[in-house]
Structure 1
């Protein structure tokens, strides 16, 4: 195992191939779909694709990404890409940030600066972080993934080895949402001796694929709206979960061959899961949507990212202990109002060693993109409490 510097440098041939594919797109018919009731509206998608062809600049995005320190290593035959930025301050806290699907490492871009260099962003330098942002195995530049069986549980083990064996941190902190929440929670459950604290922008039980969502009677009287909100949001989660936990390879032939098809599959989730109120560009610009798609397309990683679901659903979580709380490490949770699933407070208090809970005023599933300042503030407030 060795850590090597890495620079993002996509070959011109890959961009030329993409341009040809965009030009040759065969568009399906789309009728009476302005409200996206049938899925992604063709009129909007065509608008984004026209910008993709004539206005979007991948090389500019690549240069922005390369302003950060990127590295690659391999652990147990799993390639791992990560950003590693050192903190400025008296005693930076090592912090690993883990993304989800359809996220990438780049979703954390807006929080890296304030966390590593708080003084430059008008924040108290007493709380700063050494920030590590890996790409999940099989996602983005953590490719090509040549082996099966890598799920969120095994990723948690890999992250502990990355932080301790590769980067030399005896103890560290962790934060995540979506898959990142499960990876982070599993690290805290199984490797609690190494975790100083965890912060989550979503809370789910580690046996989510068996437990499902809470029933109405598990919510307090003043939380009934959370139950109905969750039930409504989950209607826009089941489609991708069903396919990606059962037939991810079959889906991947289309997504691997069509950049427009891939974009449609990804931005459908951004529109419904973000706090967009139906207007995707209120949260995610065309550049955001295209860059997200590019990071899956150019790395040929859709298939392995989709299989992350299959691996989790077919190798169910096994507890490392039967104590309560399940997560004994000090935990902070930020609940964003348009998150896909909002758990009952009593459940969170029972499941975690909960020392910090914030109900945010705005934001959805993609917290570091949608509400980076609020997320940074809450991370800093929580870790100020944790020794």
Structure 2
């Protein structure tokens, strides 16, 4: 049960914290960077220096605060875990409640560009019948879901927390789910665990229970899926680097990142570049303010360290595959849809997804990477509308 009722929440970073951030940025002790124009060693110094200059001199956190506070924000404690979430009621006769769950290194603001079109389709050139109630939480220990005061929050624990948020806190009997990265893992498992509650799932990765990534072989990929193998080989080094340290000893890294805003930003931004459909030019996928907001939320809340803990908890709980709760086929029986970006980093053959889920939609997007919700919000808006359109009666 919730420990207390949800309360309205307003972001109000103390001015002293903003001054401290700018002072730390100005005092950055820069590492030497030799022969790294192609980022082969990691984040290239000249690019980073220019971004940090913008963050310090031009970026307006107070404008970001106003954008966040224009949304209905709440905080609630469930099973001792503080959760921040936004809850936007849809305009229309029968909005479908939709839980959108982010991953790492994301924040709830990765979904910001979808909020207007999904909750107010008429105001954005759409059909009023496609309206959603949106519930967008911050993962525990990420951003405004803080302070994290308990350990053991693996993926099944997140499923339990968000199921309680939707049913016990917000009172929804049935709802839709979607997400990417950890959000894909959480919502896939939620669709499996709560088929009586979940009407359908639209995610960017088919992390269905029973899927063992170590057993996925090149021969499992169809002839027209060979690009997936090439993409995984390309992105593999940066996936391995963060996953290894964050699954092994995240607290050691946390001290460096929590102390240094530039360290936090470099750790976050490198993965955005490597896992986005940007051709190595990050500003082709995101504007500077978006990137500064990402780094600022983690820095100003002091949660970059606790955000890493999800990896340790997942790895030490056994990691993938998630053990199915039943032996029926498919493991996920509710309708599933997957929207796959060409620069996604966790790629699963369609045949395996069709075996493990009640696959109703498989979309190979023309653009987008691991962060498609933020990179291509228009495409994801249309995917969500189209997939859930025939399922809307299931919430009645």
What interval of TM-score do these two structures reach, taking the shorter chain for normalisation? Answer: over 0.9
Q: 2:115: which partner in 1?
A: 112
Q: Secondary structure at the match of 1:94?
A: strand
Q: 2:247: which partner in 1?
A: 245
Instruction: Identify if the C-alpha distance between structure 1 residues 264 and 163 changes in structure 2 by more than 3 Å, giving closer, same or farther.
Output: same
Please say if residues 171 and 194 of structure 1, whose CA atoms lie closer than 8 Å, have aligned partners that are also in contact. Answer: yes
Please say if residues 234 and 341 of structure 1, whose CA atoms lie closer than 8 Å, have aligned partners that are also in contact. Answer: no
Alignment of 1:358 onto 2:360 = no
Q: Secondary structure at the match of 2:286?
A: coil
Alignment of 1:121 onto 2:114 = no
Deviation, structure 1 residue 222 = 2.2
Q: 1:25: which partner in 2?
A: 28
**1:295-306 → structure 2 map (5 Å cutoff):** 295-306=297-308
Please point out which of 347, 352, 362 is paired with 1:347: 352
Structure 2 CA distance for aligned equivalents of residues 360 and 158 of structure 1:
31
Q: 1:94: which partner in 2?
A: 97
Deviation, structure 1 residue 112 = 0.7
Please say if residues 233 and 341 of structure 1, whose CA atoms lie closer than 8 Å, have aligned partners that are also in contact. Answer: no
Please say if residues 111 and 372 of structure 1, whose CA atoms lie closer than 8 Å, have aligned partners that are also in contact. Answer: yes
Q: 1:136: which partner in 2?
A: 139
Please say if residues 203 and 348 of structure 1, whose CA atoms lie closer than 8 Å, have aligned partners that are also in contact. Answer: yes
Q: Secondary structure at the match of 2:196?
A: helix
Please say if residues 215 and 227 of structure 1, whose CA atoms lie closer than 8 Å, have aligned partners that are also in contact. Answer: no
Q: Secondary structure at the match of 1:35?
A: coil
Alignment of 1:192 onto 2:195 = yes
Deviation, structure 1 residue 220 = 1.5
Instruction: Identify if the C-alpha distance between structure 1 residues 282 and 260 changes in structure 2 by more than 3 Å, giving closer, same or farther.
Output: same
Structure 2 CA distance for aligned equivalents of residues 255 and 368 of structure 1:
26
Deviation, structure 1 residue 341 = 2.1
Structure 2 CA distance for aligned equivalents of residues 318 and 299 of structure 1:
34
Q: Secondary structure at the match of 1:298?
A: helix
Instruction: Identify if the C-alpha distance between structure 1 residues 27 and 379 changes in structure 2 by more than 3 Å, giving closer, same or farther.
Output: same
Q: 1:328: which partner in 2?
A: 333
**1:200-219 → structure 2 map (5 Å cutoff):** 200-206=203-209, 211-212=213-214, 214-219=216-221
Structure 2 CA distance for aligned equivalents of residues 39 and 10 of structure 1:
31
Equivalent pairs counted in the alignment come to 386
Question: Alignment RMSD, CA only?
Answer: 1.2
Gaps of 5+ in 1: none
Q: Which moved more, 1:315-324 or 1:146-155?
A: 315-324
Deviation, structure 1 residue 74 = 0.2
Q: 2:225: which partner in 1?
A: 223
Instruction: Identify if the C-alpha distance between structure 1 residues 20 and 207 changes in structure 2 by more than 3 Å, giving closer, same or farther.
Output: farther
Structure 2 CA distance for aligned equivalents of residues 232 and 25 of structure 1:
31
Structure 2 CA distance for aligned equivalents of residues 36 and 211 of structure 1:
28
Please say if residues 192 and 209 of structure 2, whose CA atoms lie closer than 8 Å, have aligned partners that are also in contact. Answer: no
Please say if residues 272 and 278 of structure 1, whose CA atoms lie closer than 8 Å, have aligned partners that are also in contact. Answer: yes
Q: 2:260: which partner in 1?
A: 258
Q: 1:161: which partner in 2?
A: 164
The superposition leaves residues 89-139 of structure 1 with CA deviations (integer Å, 9 ceiling, x where unpaired) of: 110000000000000001100001110000000001111100000000111
Normalising by structure 1, we get a TM-score of: 0.98
Deviation, structure 1 residue 206 = 4.2
Q: Secondary structure at the match of 1:31?
A: coil
Q: 2:386: which partner in 1?
A: 381
Alignment of 1:84 onto 2:98 = no
Structure 2 CA distance for aligned equivalents of residues 321 and 297 of structure 1:
42
Q: Secondary structure at the match of 1:28?
A: coil
Q: 1:43: which partner in 2?
A: 46
Gaps of 5+ in 2: none
Alignment of 1:318 onto 2:331 = no
Structure 2 CA distance for aligned equivalents of residues 299 and 132 of structure 1:
21
Deviation, structure 1 residue 32 = 1.2
Please say if residues 205 and 211 of structure 1, whose CA atoms lie closer than 8 Å, have aligned partners that are also in contact. Answer: no
Please say if residues 174 and 198 of structure 2, whose CA atoms lie closer than 8 Å, have aligned partners that are also in contact. Answer: yes
Instruction: Identify if the C-alpha distance between structure 1 residues 306 and 207 changes in structure 2 by more than 3 Å, giving closer, same or farther.
Output: farther
The superposition leaves residues 198-238 of structure 1 with CA deviations (integer Å, 9 ceiling, x where unpaired) of: 10112234466x63372111111222222222222222210
Q: 2:60: which partner in 1?
A: 57
Q: 1:293: which partner in 2?
A: 295
Q: Which moved more, 1:324-333 or 1:199-208?
A: 199-208
Structure 2 CA distance for aligned equivalents of residues 213 and 336 of structure 1:
22
Deviation, structure 1 residue 353 = 0.5
Structure 2 CA distance for aligned equivalents of residues 213 and 250 of structure 1:
31
